[in-house]
Chain A
Amino acid sequence: MKKYIGKRLAISLVTLLIVIFVLFLLLQLMPGSPFNDERLSQEQIAVMSEKYGLDQPVTVQFFRYVKNLCKGDFGVSYVISKDTSISVLLENRVPISFGIGGEAVAFGAVIGLILGILAALKHNSWWDTLCTFISVIGVSLPSYVFALALAYFVGFKAQWLPLLYDGKQFFASSVMPMIALSMFTVATVARFTRTSLLEVLDSEYMLLAESKGITGPTLMLRHAMRNALIPIVTVLAPLVVDLMIGSLVIEKIFSIPGIGSLMVTAIQSNDYNVTITLAFIYSVMYIALMLIVDIVYGIIDPRIRLAGKTD
């Protein structure tokens, strides 16, 4: 297990370093650094270069960059909010995005699981058809279709929920974005749960458990669900990526002041520093998540946990 975690950790670190390196290179190439000002003379640039350490070898600069990132010092924004430290810019936004994203993951996973389990247990019934229908729709339609539909009918026509984000009523204004964001998760989790549970229910070890005389919740929980859950854990990480992508659009539609809408603004207004910082944050989130999923996977599946132990 230690070896397994170590290997995963190493791969994650390498990936992160590669990402940081690419980001660093991009930052060097991008226009819009403080030195891209035509009014600056050669001398001034030289002075500033020395001040920021830009005259040092690239490797030194790179390690300083990494060190700064670790400290949470991402530099300043040049366009969106001139000379504001990016960490300040992020301070209020991160909790909002995480709040809504977390809600969406939880909601999507729970509803998806319930739908998938019902569909598998009542295979070939109308539950099953409903689940398949929802999965196809949820997987096929981009989240903003749901967002726009919800915004128009629930927010604009019926006015049941605030159409645009209102910081004073976080929960009420997060309901629609959450639902729109989680549709894909609901659909995918439902689909996977159904397939995986059907496969488990069809397996010989379930037959063996039944032929032992095991019934009821013990049979379902101890023998069926534990085995069915393993493959579902693995789809969670890619799902979160789709959620991130979705959040960019959804936050824009509902005017949510989160990091997603900040990313869109930064891209549209060519604020490279902010874009790259956000890219870094997204990468860290994703890589960390993959790592966690892999480790959880290892913990629940003895075939991985005990791999390499020969006896």
Chain B
Amino acid sequence: MREKILSIQNLNISFETTAGVVNAVRGVNLSVYRGETVALVGESGSGKSVSAKAIMGILAKNGTIDSGDITLSYYRQEEKVTRDILSMDKKEIRRHVNGKRIAMVFQDPMTSLNPLIPVGKQVMEGMLWHYHTPKEEAYQKALDLLKLVGITDAEKRMKNYPHQLSGGMRQRVVIAIALSCDPDLLICDEPTTALDVTIQSKILELIQEIQKRKKLSVIYITHDLGVVAKVADYVNVMYAGKIVESGTVNEVFYEPKHPYTWGLLSAMPDLGTEDERLYTIPGSPPNLLHKITGDAFAPRNKYALKIDSRVEPPMFRVSDTHYAATWLLHPKAPKVELPEELKARIDRMMKEGEHYDKTGKQ
């Protein structure tokens, strides 16, 4: 039985900027179940990080949550509690949610650690703050956490300052900090983008392993489909502040329905492509300062229908787990085949996937 621990309903967030009001998130719905991994994929500026920050209650000062619910379910002394994060004030969120229930791993480990505090203290800080854990116990736990995230010579590292550690090490420390208060949900905001490739996969594997061991739910925020394919159970593709397609990894990768997802998949570099040029989606995302009518992706969409510029498409159901917001799924819409090149690519991916499954790595 899947147990829902976080549910976002119709979330709308806007920012007041000098240029005007930016509608960064426009009606996002998302559910996270215990032990599962959900990915939010999209270009920068699509609203994925903003949504995550809203969950943590750390939106920038000029940000406003216009409407929506973010409900979190957790156990307090064996008793299940369900609360709407957005109806809590900042202090309450800090006391009950941040660190204890939901923790976050940030994009750039170079800047996300306080440069003036030894890393050990930074790992211990949350425990001391939330649970008033005795110092020795917190120290011991921090040490264990550093060992858990694969830091060698942890005892010595406890006293180190962030600048004395490499990027990969720092990200491990950030993960240790996130785990320090035993959260139910971990939000990873592009956790590997700032790291080099060899370390990327190690960090991803680390998170997966810890996730299994601690029964954590994880939200991955990324623009890297490679990461998604590797770690996620469910994928949500975001565009211009909305989720345009959601489904299981297999559904989104092998049977994508939204032209934007097609574009993203085609734009993924891989070795099997025979084309000389790497496909890119033409143009750039819309400026969210302006009100968007119809489908935000329409101006970049080769398959745009006339209705796209007038009415926003709803999330059409493809299967119980697979939804996509495109008029192409309307019964009256013309049938559009996947682009040839993408089809070939998906076939290749499926073969690789089977091979991967057979070799038993899963």
Contact = CB atoms under 8 A, between A and B. Distances in A.
Direct contact of A and B (CB under 8 A): yes
Given A207-B58, A311-B156, A213 B94 contact: yes
Nearest to B101: A213
Contact of B106 (A204, A223, A302): A204
A311 B103 CA distance: 29
Counting chain B CB atoms within 10 Å of each CB, which of A123, A203, A214, A306 scores highest? Answer: A214
A170 interface: no
A211 B91 contact: no
Interface of A: 123, 203-205, 207-215, 218, 222-223, 226-227, 300-303, 306, 309, 311
A4 B306 CA distance: 69
B258 interface: no
Contact of B129 (A123, A207, A213): A213
Contact of B161 (A204, A214, A226, A306): A306
Given A212-B125, A212-B177, A213-B94, A311 B164 contact: yes
A227 B114 contact: yes
A85 to B, nearest CB: 49
B174 interface: yes
Given A211-B56, A302-B163, A204 B117 contact: no
B114 A223 contact: yes
A215 B106 CA distance: 19
Given A203-B111, A205-B114, A302 B126 contact: no
Contacts of B129: 212-214, 218
B151 to A, nearest CB: 13
Given A207-B58, A218-B129, A303-B161, A212 B99 contact: yes
Interface string B103-139: 1101110011111110000000110011000000000
Interface of B: 53, 56, 58, 61, 90-91, 94-95, 97-100, 103-104, 106-108, 111-117, 125-126, 129-130, 156, 160-161, 163-164, 174, 177, 181
A205 B99 contact: no
B104 A213 contact: no
A215 B130 CA distance: 11
B61 A123 contact: yes
5 contacts: A123-B61, A211-B58, A301-B116, A311-B156, A311-B160
A162 B295 CA distance: 75
Counting chain A CB atoms within 10 Å of each CB, which of B94, B126, B160 scores highest? Answer: B94
B53 to A, nearest CB: 8
Counting chain B CB atoms within 10 Å of each CB, which of A203, A205, A213, A222 scores highest? Answer: A213
A205 B177 contact: no
Contacts of B100: 213
A210 B111 contact: no
Contacts of B181: 212-213
Given A208-B177, A212-B126, A214-B125, 9 more contacts: A208-B104, A210-B56, A211-B56, A211-B58, A211-B103, A215-B94, A227-B115, A227-B116, A306-B161
Contacts of A309: 164
A210 B58 contact: yes
Contacts of B56: 210-211
A104 B136 CA distance: 46
Contacts of A213: 94-95, 97-100, 126, 129-130, 181
A132 to B, nearest CB: 15
Contact of A222 (B112, B117, B163): B117
Given A227-B114, A227-B116, A301-B116, A208 B106 contact: yes
Contacts of B112: 204-205, 207-208
Given A213-B95, A215-B94, A205 B115 contact: yes
B58 A300 contact: no
A207 B91 CA distance: 15
Contact of B113 (A208, A303, A306): A208
Contacts of B116: 226-227, 300-302
Contacts of B104: 207-208, 211
Contacts of A218: 129
Contact of B98 (A210, A226, A300, A302): A210
Nearest to A208: B112
A215 B117 contact: no
Contact of B164 (A207, A212, A223, A306): A306
Contacts of A207: 53, 58, 104, 106, 112
B159 to A, nearest CB: 10
B108 to A, nearest CB: 6
A210 B95 CA distance: 10
For the complex of A and B, 6 pairs with smallest distance between CB atoms? A213-B98, A204-B112, A213-B99, A302-B161, A212-B99, A204-B111
A83 to B, nearest CB: 56
Counting chain B CB atoms within 10 Å of each CB, which of A212, A222, A301 scores highest? Answer: A212
Nearest to A305: B161
Contacts of A212: 98-99, 103, 125-126, 129, 177, 181
A311 B158 CA distance: 13
Given A208-B177, A303-B163, A306-B161, A215 B91 contact: yes
A194 to B, nearest CB: 15
Contacts of B161: 302-303, 306
A274 B332 CA distance: 98
A303 B91 CA distance: 33
B94 A209 contact: no
Nearest to A309: B164
A297 to B, nearest CB: 12
B177 A210 contact: no
A115 B132 CA distance: 35
B345 to A, nearest CB: 36
Nearest to B174: A208
A211 B174 contact: no
Contacts of A208: 104, 106, 112-114, 174, 177
Nearest to B112: A204
A211 B61 contact: no
